[in-house]
Structure 1
Amino acid sequence: MAEKKSSTRQRAKYQPQKTSSTTTYLLAAVAVVVIAAVVVGGVIWNNQRNKGEADPNVLAQNASLIIGRADAPHTIDVFEDFQCPVCKEFEAQSGQAMIDAAAAGTLRVRYHFLTFLNRNSGSGDYSSRAAGAALCVAEGGNQDTFLKFHSKLYVEQPPEGGDDPDNAALAQKAAAVGATPAAQQCITAGTKIQAANEAADQSTTQLSKSLNGQVGTPSVLSGGQPVADLLSGPQWLQTLLSGSADEN
């Protein structure tokens, strides 16, 4: 998941669960699909298999990293793909606001990294390798280092279909934000790529249940329900935090 969209008209129409915008990336988890469009990503429809409700226990256990207090009044699940250019825009607009709210004790954020945009990367597996690298850094135990690495991956996001960093280069990016030697070796060896793919599969299923059988990034769930207007700046978060507490 190309340059980020700058059109106000496109942003105003953005809905994570819809498929009409070229800034929304959708995939199906079944064999029978209809390809509706291919621009910078793709549009693929699912069938009924993954429709229903997301399992809150799976969402809690399957997150790659969780920030914020366990007793925070609001919990959200954030779904991203490191190859997604719209996720880069979302991170630029709302990433720091989520971190600040978590630090203030009002929000708990559970990050989920999807990998279906491997197909749009030059190497064919960048989404998986970047997600695996993020897991390596997260397991290093320093939350601030992870958040810096997470941001760096978006700031330095490779173009779709262009050259992307190999594992050694990803390890160097991690080193630049203070990742431990063990985390760097983990990235270079690709130790967590398989785990990242397995987590992505589970997260994809849960998100699909909440998005009527589809999957799009970026997406945010609150209480298992999709949050709208994610590309309108951090207003969506302000609206969420001003409301009543959700279900964790």
Structure 2
Amino acid sequence: MSSRNSKTAKAAARERLREQREKEAKRAKIRRQVTVAVGVVVVLGAAAGIAVAVNQANKPGYWVNAAKQKLVAPANTSGKNGTIIVVGDKTNKNVVHEYEDLRCPVCAAYEQTAGDAVLQGAKDGKYQINYSFAAFIDNNGGTGSKKALSAIGAAVNVSTEAFEEYHKLLYSKAVHPDETNDAFSSSDKLISLAQQVPALKGNTKFSDAVKKGTFDKWALTVRDAYNNDPASSKGTPYVLVNGKQVQVIGQTADQVAATFAAQLKK
């Protein structure tokens, strides 16, 4: 073979090799694109599945059915249909009436700041506390206000002390979700959190009531009582001391205590 032919053959071989490499590169690129596309589909499918599951759990039909159930009022409640939770001596002539929504971030700020001091006042015999609960934040999406209220019913059904501790826990900085986060709509979440409360830890009476929705109808009844109360036009937290509204938003614990003291009957 001549030198010229040899060079031509080698050049042709190099060209075939280059073309082969380009073909392999294209195939590899296509495989990567397919793999990524499939991965995206899988992730989106999983996300869609999760979304469907969440939406199924929050279907309004669940609460429509709950409204048709027989009302079961928790133990240790007061008022018509047990819609009021009382802490302190029920015969005390001084009454602090608090209106709250369990998803309300301003209520959480109030409880985190002054909740312990207000509760201590009831324990010291200065007044009784009447708790009323709303669920209007659910109107913006979710069911956490109602479900947390149902769990509150399960807690007070165990004892008033269990309610006090669970109520404090749900409003704590470590636990209370952002208003747009519907974490309290999960029964499992509410039961898991309750394990931090000694009276509710491992308490099947409590956990079964939350899972079965024993107090779902009661939660709706409490919500409706709030909606029919003039206080519903005031938002939450809304606090009355012996029937007079007092300012608690943005106040320190000492300021709240002083405001309460000024309205108490001697």
Q: TM-score, normalised by structure 2?
A: 0.62
1:190 CA drift (Å): 1.8
Aligned partner of 1:225 in structure 2 is 244
Partner of 1:14: none
TM alignment of 1:1-248, pairs within 5 A: 60-61=79-80, 62-120=82-140, 124-141=142-159, 143-155=160-172, 156-165=175-184, 166-177=186-197, 178-179=199-200, 180-206=203-229, 208=230, 210=231, 214-234=233-253, 235-245=255-265
- Kindly indicate whether the alpha-carbon contact (under 8 Å) linking 1:101 and 1:107 is maintained by their aligned counterparts in 2: yes
Report 1 or 2 for greater relative contact order, CA contacts < 8 Å, sequence distance ≥ 6. 1
CA distance in 2, matches of 1:230, 1:74: 21
The number of residue pairs the alignment matches comes to 181
Q: More helix by proportion, 1 or 2?
A: 2
Gaps of 5+ in 1: 1-58
Distance, in Å, in 2 between the alignment partners of 1:160 and 1:132 is 18
- Aligned equivalents of 1:230, 1:112: Cα separation in 2: 17
Alpha-carbon offset, residue 63 of structure 1? 4.2
Q: CA deviation at 1:60?
A: 4.6
* Contact 1:81–1:87 (8 Å) recurs in 2: yes
Q: Percent identity?
A: 24
Counterpart in the other structure of 2:40: none
Unmatched tracts of structure 2, length 5 or more = 1-77
TM-score by length of 1: 0.66
> Could you list the per-position Cα deviations for residues 114-171 of structure 1 after superposition, in whole angstroms to 9, with x for gaps in the alignment?
10101345xx100000011001100112x22211111111121122223514112211
Distance in 1 (CA, whole Å) between partners of 2:123 and 2:114 is: 14
**What one-letter code is carried by the residue in structure 1 that aligns with 2:177?**
P
In 1, Cα distance between equivalents of 2:211 and 2:88: 29
Is the Cα contact below 8 Å between 2:110 and 2:248 reproduced in 1?
no
Q: Is the 8 A contact 1:167 1:189 kept in 2?
A: no
**CA–CA distance in structure 1, aligned partners of residues 168 and 219 of structure 2:** 18
Change (3 A) 1:222 1:163: closer
Q: Which residue identity does 1:188 align to in structure 2?
A: K
